[in-house]
């Protein structure tokens, strides 16, 4: 029959809207600093967010924003990002964050999914979005989050708030949204690593379930902590951390982009307790010479997510920095961000080649199924990972066909990830179903080869993808970024792979040296870009 893994809820998830929870938390914390901007050191308090978000909600309501309308944002990480997000939640409208790095083609695609009525922009995105608006079939207004607009007839958030009358924010009430498990809260862009992004729709209940579980001390002991927020807020990982900080009374130190010296300085200066990150930052911490000059003694935990993690990289960072716990998280936007997090006391377990991502969070059922037969498998057997529970998304916005392909008729969400559960009921994730390389009938995991390549001291970064081949089906091609001044050759890397891995995993497609591996801002390798590079070889 196979095994189904269950982690029971200790207490029911609150049956309220996120708007109500946010209002309570902002009132409770008053003049306490909520966030600090890393580059400028400016601060914002809970009271300031409360007052400005309620004022903005009143403005939006007068503007005609109704329950269920979509409101977008396309900016870098910033101190005032939460103000329009909270105002949207209070009204029962739907928040739609977009990448500030999108091209015109990508924006047109993703805007046509949610069709927002208002988009909050920055100097980086205003001109491109202003150009796109005239091509859309519905009316969209831009509001500039910076103090000066770049185009005419664009209002600024500051100007709106200055003109808005004073409000009694202590008695303000969020809209009654009805059933929180059915009312959409946010439409997040799927990562789009293999194709164009889809709109992942999460309910109020989805995100509240995540917040109430992840904020328990056995998962993230962040109470009164200082959390460095570098992961982009338009991504589910980054956005959810903003609300983890609010829910757990932590202080957020915000970075709009990764700058090595500023990143290290902020950890030391603010005595950061938690560093949520991605594997590429872990590689930086393991290998960059600058790291040794900074003090990491305040860091209680380093949490890594968004892509598979190499065990030797965990060991290298722990040994170098003396950080006690490096936790490996597993999840996806469609599962309300995180479905499992490795525990603090068994990240040194050497009995498995791949790091584990812990048991499922409370409220989840999980299983591993055979890719071909869909039969439920036992512990130790490798297949596709599936989940059932209150963190499973509502679906893809306005895309019932993609929703049906992901959530089956029994409600199980099929992740598209390959992995297995060990004999301690802990999940090990190996790769993506669609990213497996089919060499002569063998299924080869790119991340397994990448882990070996990254173990070479002269390799800064690496990614592996498939090259079509008439005889073998597909062959593995490695794209490698050298460390500065490195003399490693393609032959050296071929020899390393042959020494460590069995013949079906060798680099028959060759080794290509490149300047940078194409990745999403959340750290996921963009395999579609690798395949485009292969097509030009």
Determine, yes or no, domain membership for 316: yes
CA dihedral 131, 137, 138, 141 (to 10 degrees): 0
Average pLDDT score, the chain: 92
Determine, yes or no, domain membership for 133: yes
Determine, yes or no, domain membership for 340: yes
Tokens of 211: 């917040």
Domain boundary residue among 127, 161, 176?
Answer: 176
Instruction: Kindly state whether residues 109 and 26 are assigned to the same domain.
Output: yes
How confident is residue 282, by pLDDT bands cut at 50, 70 and 90? confident
**What residue numbers bound the domain in which 160 lies?**
18-32+43-176
Could you give phi then psi for residue 420, rounded to 5 degrees? -155, 160
**pLDDT the model gives residue 314:** 86
CA angle 304, 308, 265 (to 5 degrees): 30
Determine, yes or no, domain membership for 332: yes
Tokens of 23: 């209002």
For residue 28, give every residue at least 6 positions away whose Cβ sits within 8 Å of its Cβ, in sequence order, or none. 46
**246-272 b/e with 16+ CB inside 10 Å = b?**
bbbbbbbbbbbeeeeebbbebbeebeb
How many distinct structural domains can be found in the chain?
3
Instruction: Kindly state whether residues 233 and 333 are assigned to the same domain.
Output: yes
Residue ranges of E strands in 356-470 = 364-369, 383-389, 395-396, 413-421, 427-432, 437-439, 442-444, 459-469
**pLDDT the model gives residue 358:** 85
Which residue is associated with the tokens 């009132």?
Answer: 27
Determine, yes or no, domain membership for 424: yes
How confident is residue 306, by pLDDT bands cut at 50, 70 and 90? low
Domain boundary residue among 432, 449, 473?
Answer: 432
Q: DSSP characters for 88-157?
A: HHHHT-EEEE--TT--HHHHHHHHHHH--SEEEE-TTTHHHHHHHHTTSSS--EEEESSSS-SSTT-EEH
Rounded distance between C-alpha atoms, residue 150 and residue 144, angstroms: 9
For the cut 60, the answer to whether the pLDDT of residue 192 exceeds it is: no
Determine, yes or no, domain membership for 13: no
Task: Count the alpha carbons within 13 Å of 21 in the hemisphere toward its beta carbon.
Answer: 20
The CATH number of whichever domain residue 91 belongs to comes to 3.40.50.980
Domain boundary residue among 385, 408, 432?
Answer: 432
Instruction: Kindly state whether residues 370 and 462 are assigned to the same domain.
Output: no
Inter-residue contact 149 to 126 (CB < 8 Å): yes
Determine, yes or no, domain membership for 305: yes
Instruction: Kindly state whether residues 410 and 448 are assigned to the same domain.
Output: no
Instruction: Kindly state whether residues 428 and 445 are assigned to the same domain.
Output: no
For the stretch 36-91, pLDDT in tens is 999 999 999 999 999 999 999 999 999 999 999 999 999 999 999 999 999 999 99
Instruction: Kindly state whether residues 415 and 441 are assigned to the same domain.
Output: no
For the cut 80, the answer to whether the pLDDT of residue 302 exceeds it is: yes
Instruction: Kindly state whether residues 375 and 490 are assigned to the same domain.
Output: no
Instruction: Kindly state whether residues 267 and 394 are assigned to the same domain.
Output: yes
Determine, yes or no, domain membership for 188: no
Beta bridge partners of 201: 187, 395
Burial of 19 (0-12, 13-18, 19+ CB in 10 A): buried
For the stretch 484-507, pLDDT in tens is 999 999 999 999 999 888 788 999
Instruction: Kindly state whether residues 484 and 504 are assigned to the same domain.
Output: yes
- Give the lowest-confidence range in 15-19, 223-227, 394-398: 223-227
Q: Is 288 helix (H, G, I), strand (E, B) or coil?
A: coil
Q: Which uninterrupted H or E stretch holds 35? A: strand 33-37
Nearest to 295 by CA among 259, 261, 321, 325: 321
For the cut 70, the answer to whether the pLDDT of residue 283 exceeds it is: yes
**139-170 b/e with 16+ CB inside 10 Å = b?**
ebebbbbbeebeeeebeebeebbeebeeeebe
Inter-residue contact 302 to 326 (CB < 8 Å): yes
What percent of the chain is modeled with pLDDT above 70?
96
CA angle 92, 97, 100 (to 5 degrees): 155
For the stretch 337-386, pLDDT in tens is 999 998 887 655 666 667 788 889 999 999 999 988 999 999 999 999 99
Instruction: Kindly state whether residues 445 and 416 are assigned to the same domain.
Output: no
For the stretch 386-440, pLDDT in tens is 999 999 999 999 999 999 999 999 999 999 988 999 999 999 988 777 787 878 7
The CATH number of whichever domain residue 462 belongs to comes to 3.30.300.30
Instruction: Kindly state whether residues 349 and 381 are assigned to the same domain.
Output: yes
Inter-residue contact 64 to 93 (CB < 8 Å): no
How confident is residue 446, by pLDDT bands cut at 50, 70 and 90? confident
Rounded distance between C-alpha atoms, residue 234 and residue 154, angstroms: 22
Which residue is associated with the tokens 């882990």?
Answer: 451
Burial of 352 (0-12, 13-18, 19+ CB in 10 A): middle
**pLDDT the model gives residue 223:** 79
Residue 424: DSSP 8-state: T
Tokens of 276: 């949520």
Instruction: Kindly state whether residues 368 and 282 are assigned to the same domain.
Output: yes
The CATH number of whichever domain residue 368 belongs to comes to 3.40.50.12780
| Region for residue 500 given its phi and psi (left: phi exceeds 0; alpha: psi -120 to 50; beta: otherwise) | alpha
């Amino acid at each position: 029959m196979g095994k189904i893994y269950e982690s029971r809820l200790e207490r029911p998830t609150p049956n309220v809207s996120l708007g109500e929870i946010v209002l309570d938390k902002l009132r409770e914390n008053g003049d306490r600093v909520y966030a600090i901007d890393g580059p400028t050191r400016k601060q914002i308090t809970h009271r300031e967010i409360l007052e400005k978000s309620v004022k903005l909600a009143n403005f939006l309501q007068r503007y005609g924003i109704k329950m269920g309308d979509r409101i977008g944002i396309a900016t870098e990480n910033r101190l005032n990002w939460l103000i329009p997000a909270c105002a949207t939640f209070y009204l029962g409208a739907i928040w739609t964050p977009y990448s500030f790095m999108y091209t015109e083609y990508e924006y047109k695609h993703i805007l046509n999914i949610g069709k927002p009525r208002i988009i909050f922009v920055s100097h980086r995105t205003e001109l491109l979005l202003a150009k796109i608006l005239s091509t859309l079939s519905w009316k969209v207004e831009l509001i500039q989050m910076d103090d000066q607009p770049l185009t005419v007839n664009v209002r600024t958030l500051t100007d709106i708030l200055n003109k808005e009358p004073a409000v009694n924010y202590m008695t303000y009430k969020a809209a009654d949204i009805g059933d929180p498990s059915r009312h959409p809260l946010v439409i997040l862009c799927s990562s789009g690593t293999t194709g164009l992004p889809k709109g992942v729709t999460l309910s109020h209940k989805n995100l509240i379930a995540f917040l109430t579980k992840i904020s328990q001390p056995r998962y993230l002991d962040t109470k009164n902590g200082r959390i460095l927020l570098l992961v982009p807020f338009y991504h589910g990982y980054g956005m959810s951390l903003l609300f983890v900080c609010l829910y757990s009374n932590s202080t957020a130190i915000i970075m709009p982009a990764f700058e090595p010296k500023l990143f290290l300085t902020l950890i030391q200066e603010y005595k950061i307790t938690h560093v949520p990150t991605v594997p590429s930052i872990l590689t930086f911490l393991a290998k960059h010479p600058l790291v040794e000059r900074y003090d990491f003694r305040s860091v209680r935990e380093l949490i890594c997510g968004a892509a598979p993690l190499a065990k030797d990289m965990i060991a290298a960072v722990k040994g170098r920095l003396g950080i006690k716990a490096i936790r490996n998280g597993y999840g996806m936007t469609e599962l309300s961000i995180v479905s499992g997090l490795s525990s603090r006391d068994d990240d040194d377990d050497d009995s498995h080649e791949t790091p584990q991502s812990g048991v499922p969070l409370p409220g989840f059922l999980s299983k591993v199924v055979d890719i071909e037969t869909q039969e439920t498998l036992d512990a130790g057997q490798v297949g596709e990972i599936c989940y059932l529970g209150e963190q499973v998304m509502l679906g893809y916005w306005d895309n019932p066909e993609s929703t049906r392909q992901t959530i089956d008729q029994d409600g199980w969400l099929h992740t598209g990830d390959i992995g297995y559960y060990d004999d301690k009921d802990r999940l090990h994730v190996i790769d993506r179903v669609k990213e497996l390389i089919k060499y002569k009938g063998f299924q080869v995991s790119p991340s397994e080869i990448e882990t070996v390549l990254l173990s070479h001291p002269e390799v800064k970064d690496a990614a592996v993808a498939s090259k079509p081949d008439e005889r073998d089906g597909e062959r593995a091609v490695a794209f490698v970024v050298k460390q500065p001044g490195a003399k490693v050759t393609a032959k050296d890397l071929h020899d390393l792979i042959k020494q460590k891995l069995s013949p079906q995993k060798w680099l028959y497609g060759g080794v290509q040296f490149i300047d940078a591996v194409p990745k999403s801002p959340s750290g996921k390798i963009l395999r579609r870009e690798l395949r485009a590079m292969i097509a030009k070889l």
